[in-house]
Copies of this chain bind each other. A is one copy, B any other.
Amino acid sequence: MIRILLVDDHALVRRGVRLILEQEPDLTVVGEAGDGAEAVEALRDLEVDLVVLDIAMPRMTGLQAAREITRRREPPRLMMLSMHDNEQYFFESLRVGASGYVLKSVADEDLVGAVRAAMRGEAFVYPGAMGSLARDYLDRLRRGESVPQTVLTEREDEVLKLIAEGRSSKDIARDLTISVKTVERHRANILAKLGMRDRTQLTRYAIRAGLIEP
């Protein structure tokens, strides 16, 4: 019997996924959570084999929750549920230790298949997604484009978050009690690392990365 914790901010989606999963005799949903924080909370009281985690959620996002969860002693397996066929999310999911990455556009039998594959320990992407995602990945490798393992430093993440929230450099400098110049230095480094040109792109990136909410 595979015990599952279901995490999605939309009750309707949660309910639907639950109905789909529970049509299988060997799958049981032992809990639900409406955001990342609730999920982490729920794991303290529940014995869970697999957490099905929506990526885009308010407060603590799925990716943040995933980082939290994998820090536990015997972490359950993680399966990320995503709206988007998006490389950024995909790689980020692998980075945080997810076993699977499934698009919400998959059919229900594929979801069940994905759950079983995740439990067998097969790291995988839903094939439909695999197409464009893996293609991209391989393309970049071939072009020597240095796949974005170039993660930002903690400080840079912090600054990025504030920039993406629309705060000005002066504002951020005051907040972090550093000089405007240093904020600009960080911003320049972030832009360079991510290969971007301005704040709006950083905003979108921060949203994708789960640093801020849209």
Mark interface residues in A70-86 (1 if CB within 8 Å of B CB, else 0): 00000000000101101
Task: Verify A15–B199 contact, CB threshold 8 A.
Answer: no
CB nearest to A207 among chain B residues = B214
> Cβ of A18: which chain B residues have Cβ within 8 Å of it?
16
A81 to B34, CA, bound (A): 18
Beta-carbon nearest neighbor of A168 in chain B: B198
Taking A16-B15, A19-B20 as contacts, is the C-beta distance between A197 and B166 under 8 angstroms?
Answer: yes
User: Is the interface on chain A under 10, 10 to 19, 20 to 34, or 35 or more residues?
Assistant: 35 or more
B15 contacts A107, C-beta separation under 8 Å: yes
CB of A201 within 8 A of chain B?
Answer: yes
CB of A4 within 8 A of chain B?
no
| Contact in complex: B200, A165 (CB < 8 Å) | yes
Q: Which residue of the partner chain B has the closest CB to A9?
A: B105
Complex interface: chain B residues within 8 A of A105 (CB): 9-12, 34
Residues of B within 8 A of A93 (CB): none
Are B9 and A200 closer than 8 Å at their CB atoms?
no
Contact between B213 and A84, CB atoms less than 8 A apart: yes
4 closest Cβ pairs, A-B complex: A16-B16, A10-B104, A166-B200, A19-B19
User: Chain A interface (Cβ within 8 Å of chain B)?
Assistant: 9-13, 15-20, 34, 81, 83-84, 86, 103-108, 111, 163-166, 197-204, 207-208, 212-214
A and B contact pairs by CB, cutoff 8 A, 11 listed: A9-B105, A11-B107, A12-B16, A12-B20, A12-B108, A13-B13, A15-B108, A34-B105, A163-B200, A164-B200, A199-B199
